[in-house]
Structure 1
């Protein structure tokens, strides 16, 4: 029970159940992925998220549904909330 509240697993499970558009990036897990910006429209899918190693951006592209970048990136002017500042890894 403590693990459920100490990790994002509970909120991630709810997010996945409530909206079928939601998913957890393949490099992350339901235990570690933390959305930090959610779409405020009719669907509540994540726009930006993170785990211990990477940041993620939901890309809306079927064959490449998200982008990821290492937290240790060297992008000039990097902003985790603006994918336009993410340099190519």
Structure 2
């Protein structure tokens, strides 16, 4: 009887620690904040060429909605265009645009339209 109680306590302690570790990991990574961003504001989306694991917004709208204006992943930069047919543009990080500025769409000489959501 005492052995069963000891096993139950060990199991509860182990599960509690595992849950705490999972919560800490979720809060410490970008995945949690990106998921929250997608859930809270329906304008937000991850570009088709990227993923929730690699996409990182670096300029956010400061108005009543907090959608991304500019973002990046390992290979591309992205700009949100507000146009339903092509909601974003993207350009390779290895582009050859003269005077390229990742925060100024007017300097993106070879940007490609992204697919509709």
TM-score, length-scaled by structure 2: 0.71
Q: Which runs of 4+ in 1 moved over 4 A?
A: none
Higher share of residues assigned strand: 1
In the alignment, structure 2 segments of 5+ residues that lack a partner are 1-21, 112-117
**1:63 and 2:81 matched:** no
Q: Aligned partners of 2:99, 2:25: CA distance in 1, in Å?
A: 36
* Structure 1 equivalent of residue 52 of structure 2: 30
For the residue of structure 2 that corresponds to 1:64, the secondary structure is: coil
Give 1 or 2 for the bigger CA radius of gyration: 2
RMSD: 1.4
8 Å CA contact 1:9, 1:32 repeated in 2: no
For the residue of structure 2 that corresponds to 1:69, the secondary structure is: strand
Higher share of residues assigned helix: 2
Can you list the C-alpha shifts for 1:1-57, whole angstroms capped at 9, x where unaligned?
Answer: 476434x21111011011000000000000110000000001000000000000000
* Structure 2 equivalent of residue 18 of structure 1: 40
- 47, 51, 55: which one aligns with 2:73: 51
Q: Aligned partners of 2:101, 2:107: CA distance in 1, in Å?
A: 6
Between the two proteins, the alignment pairs up a number of residues equal to 88
TM-score, length-scaled by structure 1: 0.92
